[in-house]
Structure 1
Amino acid sequence: MDPVSAARALVEEMFPGAMYAFVGGSVLTESRTSTSDLDVVVVLDGLARPYRESLRWRGWPVDLFVHSETSLAAYLDKDFERRQPSLARMCAEGAVVTDRTGGRASDLQTALGERLAAGPGGLTTAQTERARYGLSDLLDDLAGTTDPGEQAFIRWEVVQAAARAALGVGRRWQGSGKWLLRELRAHDPALADELLSAHDDPARLTAVASKVLERAGGRLWEGYRAEGDPFHRPLRHIAAGELSGETAQSSGMRRLAAISGATAGSSRLWMGQTHVAPATRSSDHHHGASETAIYVVSGTPSFVFLEDGEERRHDARPGDYIFVPPYVPHREENPDPSQEAVVVIARSTQEAIVVNLPSLAG
């Protein structure tokens, strides 16, 4: 059975209600080996928690990546942010093995393909300097060591650091393990060959890595400085009348920002209020990567979410606290016909991330 047919049969057997699924990875390429597994990305409706599972199915080694649409989008964003879009490649460059949504799998492939083709953009000055410093420091270590074991380990570190620096300066995606080499070969096959052939010769390896450093701006060690966060900034006071409605909103409720990057210069925290009118419910939404803590000031709001595909609710009173984990779809309801519900919210990101959804299932 060919890989695509095998993946299709696996999904039909293990996930008969899947929204859509892809198979990708080396198994579909000329790089396939006897140990290549089926990388299968499965999207389920209302899955509470994404998971990865390795198993053997009808003789095939399989890596499963099981998501809801919400969690898949979050994981894709994380991969793009770290410039290593392995999950995106599985979806965009793989094959659709099932799609019960009328084309959303193909639409996602197109969108991801465009994002992959656009590349990650250039490195920031700080990122470039960090890459230059790291590789320069490794070359100094390589020049100074007399221990054969240390030298062997440092040489491989130099190869990888040079590859990552070349990809970063070249505005190309990164990889790990064999995929780092594949990305480098796609970007600069001559450099990939030079690094591999020079690995056992410290002098040659230093020369090749130094050429990479020149592309990035040259060696950097003396004078390198990476600043941490400031420790002694003044306190900020946001008065009750200074709360701002210029923040992300959902229908059925009103958010007011108190502490944010814009109002207080915060970098890892957002804080504010939410008001839900009597006999009103908000739209379904989640808050991305933010953890959210809620304190009920007044009223009797309810917080509704899905657990194992069923709606669950927490009915709260003044003085109660609610914790909302990242990416969890939920909504606020105020069943009281006459009293507004007011809560104070704190989130673990600089700004208020609000992703409005068509339903709690995402």
Structure 2
Amino acid sequence: MDPVSEARALVDELFPEALYALLGGSVAAGRRTPTSDLDILVVVDGLAAPYRESLRRHDWPVELLVHSQTSFGAWLERDFGSRQPVLARLCAEGIVLADRSGGRLEALREELRGRLERGPGAPHDAALGRARYVLSDLLDDLAGVTDPGERAFIEWNVVEEAARLALSLGGRWQGGGKWLLRELRAHDPDLAQALLKARETPGELAAVAAGVLERAGGRLWEGYRADGDVFHRPLRHVTPEDLSGATAQSAGMRRLAAVSDATTGSRRLWMGQTHVAPATRSADHHHGESETAIYVVSGRPVFVFLEDGGERRIETGPGDYVFVPPFVPHREENPDPEQEAVVVIARSTQEAIVVDLPDLRMR
């Protein structure tokens, strides 16, 4: 059976209710080798947790990437942030195996094609300076190395860093392993060929890499400086009057940010208050990739989520703590007809991520 038919049969058998599924990787790109596997993305409405699984079917090695709509969106953004949009390429350029999305898949593919075409943009000054410094330092190592083993490793590092710098200068996406070469060939085939030809000839390799450096502004070693002082920044004091309502909200709740990027310059932490009015409940929602810790200050709030297909309720009181894992749909309720419930919340992302949902099922 041909790889597309095999992949489609596997999806039909294992994921008959898949929202959509695609075949990507070397097979879909027409670059199949004797050891190529079937890279299959499957998006399932209501999947409890995303996973990756390697298996073999009819002598075909298969890499399954299984997501809910929520987790797939989060992983897409993570890849774009790293400038290596692996999942975006699989979705935008892959072969559709199944589609029950009512047009949503094609709209998503069109959006992703646009983002891929636009590229990540030029690197910021600090990133460019760091890249120039790293490649300059590697060229100094290459000029002085005498150990053949060390030379081999340095040579490959020079090839890789020169390729990454050239792609960054061109506002192009990055890749890992063979995909780095494919990205470079698509952007600058002459440079790709020159690096491959010179990779085991130190003098030629140094000259090719130096050419990339010149396009970036030249070698940078002496005088390079990166601020590494994390010991002399001031503490920040946030009073009740400083709390900010300029943060994500859910119906039935009022959130106030205390520690955030906007209020204190924090980079990985968000902390604030949530108020739930008497006899009310929040909308069903989740907090994306954030881990969330909750401390009950006053009132007796109830936290509701799904477990084994049914609703589970955690009833709390002042002094209690609750942990909400990433992506778990839940809601807060305040059954008290008179007293407001107030909690303090800390999250592992710098800003509050709130994704409202129509119900508690994972999307």
Q: Normalized against structure 1, the TM-score is what? A: 0.96
C-alpha contact 1:299 1:341 (8 A) present in aligned 2 = yes
Indicate how the Cα distance of structure 1 residues 189 and 146 shifts in structure 2: closer, same or farther if over 3 A, else same: same
Which amino acid in 2 is paired with 1:203?
G
Residue 78 of structure 1, CA deviation: 0.5
Partner of 1:335: 335
Match of 2:28 in 1: 28
Q: Which runs of 5+ in 2 are unaligned?
A: none
Give deviations 1:322-355, integer Å, cap 9, x for gaps. 1122232222122223322110011222222222
AA aligned to 1:289 is: E
2:86 paired with 1:65? no
Alpha-carbon displacement from aligned partner over 1:100-158 (angstroms, at most 9, x marks no partner)? 22122222211111111110111010110111111111110000111111111111111
Q: Report what 1:316 is aligned to.
A: 316
- In the TM superposition, 1:293-312 aligns within 5 A as 293-312=293-312
* Aligned counterpart, 2:49: 49
Q: Is 1:287 matched up with 2:287?
A: yes
1:17-38 C-alpha deviation (Å, 9 max, x unpaired)? 2121111111022311111111
CA distance in 2, matches of 1:107, 1:358: 21
Superposition pairs of residues 1-362 of structure 1, within 5 angstroms = 1-228=1-228, 230-360=230-360, 361-362=362-363
Contact kept in structure 2, 1:48 and 1:308, CA below 8 Å = no
* Structure-2 separation of matches of 1:226 and 1:355: 37
| Cα displacement (A) at 1:229 | 5.2
The one-letter code sitting in structure 2 at the alignment partner of 1:107 is A
Contact 1:20 1:44 in 2 (8 A): yes
Distance 1:348 1:231 in 2: 22
Secondary structure at the aligned position of 2:353 is classed as coil
Q: Would you say the 8 A contact 1:47–1:308 is kept in 2? A: no
Could you tell me how far 1:288 is from its partner in structure 2?
2.5
1:309 deviates by 4.4
Comparing 290-299 and 310-319, the one that deviates more = 310-319
- Alignment partners' CA distance in 1, 2:236 and 2:157: 45
Aligned AA (1:111): E
- Aligned to 2:84, the other structure's residue is in SS state coil
Number of corresponding residues: 362
Does the CA contact (< 8 Å) of 1:246 and 1:257 recur in 2?
yes
Q: Which runs of 5 or more residues in structure 1 are unaligned? A: none
CA contact under 8 A between 1:48 and 1:306: conserved in structure 2? Answer: no
Could you list the per-position Cα deviations for residues 49-106 of structure 1 after superposition, in whole angstroms to 9, with x for gaps in the alignment? 2111111112211100011111111111110000001111111100221122212222
Amino acid at match of 2:335: P
Q: 1:243 to 1:3 in 2, by over 3 A?
A: same
Give the whole-Å Cα distance in 2 for the aligned partners of 1:341 and 1:92: 45
Q: Which amino acid aligns with 1:92?
A: A
CA 1:124–1:308 in structure 2 vs 1: closer, same or farther (change >3 Å)? farther
Deviations 1:154-198 (A, max 9, x none): 111111111111111111000011100000000000000000000
* Residue range with higher mean Cα deviation, 187-196 or 289-298: 289-298
Instruction: State the shift of 1:306 in Å.
Output: 3.2
Q: In structure 1, what residue type is equivalent to 2:47?
A: L
Specify the SS of the correspondent of 2:174: coil
Is the Cα contact below 8 Å between 1:258 and 1:271 reproduced in 2? yes
Task: Check 1:331–1:228 CA distance in 2 against 1; reply closer, same or farther (3 A cut).
Answer: farther
Deviation for aligned residue 1:284: 2.0
CA distance in 2, matches of 1:308, 1:17: 19
Deviations 1:247-299 (A, max 9, x none): 11111100011222222232222211101112222112222332211101112
1:344 match: secondary structure = strand
Give the CA deviation at 1:308: 4.8
Distance, in Å, in 1 between the alignment partners of 2:310 and 2:159 is 51
Q: How far, CA to CA, are the matches of 2:307 and 2:56 in structure 1? A: 29
Secondary structure, counterpart of 2:237 in structure 1: coil
* Larger displacement relative to structure 2 (156-165 or 270-279): 270-279
* Contact 1:44–1:68 (8 Å) recurs in 2: yes
Query: Structure 1 stretch 100-109 or stretch 168-177: which is displaced more?
Result: 100-109
What is the alpha-carbon distance in structure 2 between the residues aligned to residue 306 and residue 253 of structure 1? Answer: 20
Q: Tell me, yes or no, if the aligned pair for 1:96 and 1:105 is still in contact at 8 Å.
A: no
For 2:54 and 2:231, locate their aligned partners in 1 and report how far apart those are by CA, in whole Å: 45
TM-score by length of 2: 0.96
What is the CA RMSD across the aligned residues, in angstroms?
1.5
Identity over aligned pairs, percent: 71
Partner SS state of residue 250, structure 2: coil
Query: 3-state SS of the aligned residue for 1:17?
Result: coil
Task: State the distance in 2 between where 1:14 and 1:238 align.
Answer: 52
Supply the AA of the counterpart residue of 2:87. Answer: L
**Alpha-carbon shift at residue 233 of structure 1 (Å):** 2.5
